[in-house]
């Protein structure tokens, strides 16, 4: 009887050892899976971090904001305007002289009456360039090289505003390409595209941030033109804009 009890006790101890071994193995496997999961998540986060760093470095290099060794040589090229423009007569002077001369001729031809109020005026890119440079100087925008700002006009490409940045070794610049149109009797902008360096910003960001500022910059031009003419149409030619409409000035008779 004692022999049976001894064997039974031994079997119970062996069974207990087996259960302990199985329990230990399960715990080891669980810890192993946890370690692998942790390593996998760490690898994913590291991969995403490296992607973000790479995108940031690429963005800085292609915009020209920072010169990145090797990468900048591959993705950055000095921005160039569609063609060079020299300054001319200020736009406000040109508009005033043109309208005064035209009105005088019409009055003389009509015996003191403006029988013909239709009008078409050419606005050369040289005059627009001069006025834009003056505007930049008046507002003292520190980042812009106001003496090198220019407006180039081509019938196929549209209107380009080229704004060089100061104190940049890579000759960086902001370029705005747009198509002017007439809405409600004033000049408005469409198809606006903005680039910095060699990077073109998404259209949604351009329309949200840049377009309102660009249209605000047109206010002085619209005010000057609207004091003489109600705009109806605008056409692009190489080197100039042609605006047309009807004269709105009133002639006082004494």
**What does the block give as tokens for 61?**
């290099």
For the entire predicted model, the pTM comes to 0.77
The 10 Å Cβ neighbour count of residue 133 is 20
* Element at 174 (helix H, strand E): strand 173-183
Q: Are 121 and 243 in contact (CB under 8 A)?
A: yes
pLDDT in tens, 61-102: 999 888 888 888 889 999 999 999 999 999 888 888 888 888
**Residue 26 CB-half CA count within 13 A:** 6
Whether 245 has a pLDDT exceeding 60, the answer reads yes
pLDDT for residue 200: 93
**Residue 139 CB-half CA count within 13 A:** 12
Domain boundaries, the chain: 1-76, 91-247
Radius of gyration of the chain (CA): 36
Alpha helices (H) in the chain, listed in sequence order: 2-63, 71-75, 91-109, 125-139, 203-205, 211-217, 219-226
Lowest-pLDDT range of 30-34, 157-161, 228-232: 30-34
Cα 190-191-196 angle, rounded to 5 deg: 120
**What does the block give as tokens for 47?**
């991969």
Tell me the sheet residues that pair with 187: 182
């Amino acid at each position: 009887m004692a022999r049976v009890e001894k064997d039974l006790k031994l079997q119970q101890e062996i069974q207990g050892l087996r259960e302990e071994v199985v329990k230990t193995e399960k715990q080891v496997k669980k810890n192993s899976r946890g370690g692998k999961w942790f390593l996998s998540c760490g690898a994913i986060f590291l991969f995403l971090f490296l992607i973000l760093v790479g995108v940031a470095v690429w963005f800085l290099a292609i915009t020209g904001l920072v010169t990145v060794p090797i990468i900048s040589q591959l993705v950055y090229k000095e921005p160039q305007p569609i063609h060079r423009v020299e300054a001319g007569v200020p736009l406000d002077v040109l508009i005033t002289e043109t309208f005064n001369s035209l009105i005088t001729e019409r009055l003389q031809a009509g015996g003191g009456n403006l029988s013909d109020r239709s009008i078409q005026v050419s606005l050369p890119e040289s005059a627009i360039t001069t006025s834009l440079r003056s505007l930049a100087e008046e507002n003292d925008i520190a980042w812009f090289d106001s003496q090198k700002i220019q407006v180039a006009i081509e019938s196929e490409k549209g209107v380009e505003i080229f704004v060089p940045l100061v104190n940049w070794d890579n000759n960086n610049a902001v370029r705005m390409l747009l198509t002017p149109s007439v809405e409600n009797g004033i000049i408005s902008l469409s198809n606006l595209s903005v680039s910095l360096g060699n990077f073109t910003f998404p259209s949604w960001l351009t329309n949200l941030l840049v377009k309102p500022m660009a249209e605000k910059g047109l206010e002085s031009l619209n005010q000057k033109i609207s004091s003489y003419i109600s705009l109806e149409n605008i056409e692009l030619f190489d080197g100039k804009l042609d605006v047309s409409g009807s004269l709105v000035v009133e002639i006082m008779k004494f």
